[in-house]
Structure 1
Amino acid sequence: MSNVSRAESGLPPRNVTVSFGERFQASAQFDGVFKQGMALVERTAAYLEGPGRVEAKRLPAAVNVLYASESMRLTTRLLDMASWLLIRRALKEGDISETEAQKKRKGVALQAPARSSHVAGFGELPEGLRTLVGESYALQDRIIQLDRAMSIKSDDVNAGSQPGQSNPVGLQLDRLRVAFSR
């Protein structure tokens, strides 16, 4: 064990719960998710305006209707995710307050609807569109998980424990430290 205190090392005190969401938003990993999301928006726009438009013209009428429907759903889903990412980035950079971010977040629909792959005829859609739809669902799932984690603040978690009440995880970690320090 080191003689450096937790405060000197930059670690929070043992009885304080750290919010994953607060830490993640300030991290390089958030920047990676942001870049991934914006790149997906750009790739989708390029596909729908270019090769996708050409491929759609070659489809049978019934599949063309499905193509139009799926491309609209994809675009809507991506706009919601881009809005969420932009709100979080603005909050991270101090451009908006937490209150403003919460208000703006209420206007963003981040629910996981039924997957398009279950729709009859989905397999007949061009591979490019199916790939983008799959990538958008994977990113949406990740953003939904992050949104849940980021909505829990360390102050909220720490407020739930009464003074003098111990943290069960902290107790287990202390027991492990004692057991392995022998």
Structure 2
Amino acid sequence: MAMTQSTFEELARLGDRLSDALRLEFIDGKVREKALPDGNHGRIIEWLTRLCVQDDVGWWLYPGQGLRVETYGKGNARPDGLLGPIDTFVGQGEWASAEGVLMVVEVTSYDADTDRRDRVEKPRAYAETGIPVYLLIDRAQGEVRVHSQPGDAGRYDVVITVTFGKTVTLPDPVGLELDTEPLKDWVG
């Protein structure tokens, strides 16, 4: 029997009550555990939040907000950051709609599921959901991948990859120049 989204959300609530160290996601019909962030991971999100707010004071980078993703909202992800206008998630619960999300951010962890989860499954899920920009900060590869223009085939039509130290443009609706030099200090 396949797990439903409502069954997953109930399971995730139970997991949250049992342990602060357990964060679950439901991507591509599979329950996955998401690694807890380390200090450098948190510093990257802090840095990116400051840049986004400096660019537009009406934005906020929401860390850890649960999001309903995939076609017909059948999946649940807990991205490292969701960029949207202030109040995007007001009135929504733990698992919010992607409406109003400008960009989703993932910072890779050093666990066995990173390749499949952050580099394969999540780009497809976020593209299917219609999120305009997916920013992957890949600490293991020392690069930033900017996915944009979600297409009809459940994937982003444009992917730009730069190594840490270069500048990359986060396309509209974000429209921010991102100097990735500081990321070199937070890869460990």
TM bin, normalised by shorter chain, reads: under 0.3
Based on CA coordinates, which of the two structures has the bigger radius of gyration?
1
Q: Which has the higher strand share?
A: 2
**TM-score under structure 2 normalisation?**
0.25
Q: Which has the higher helix share?
A: 1
**TM-score under structure 1 normalisation?**
0.25
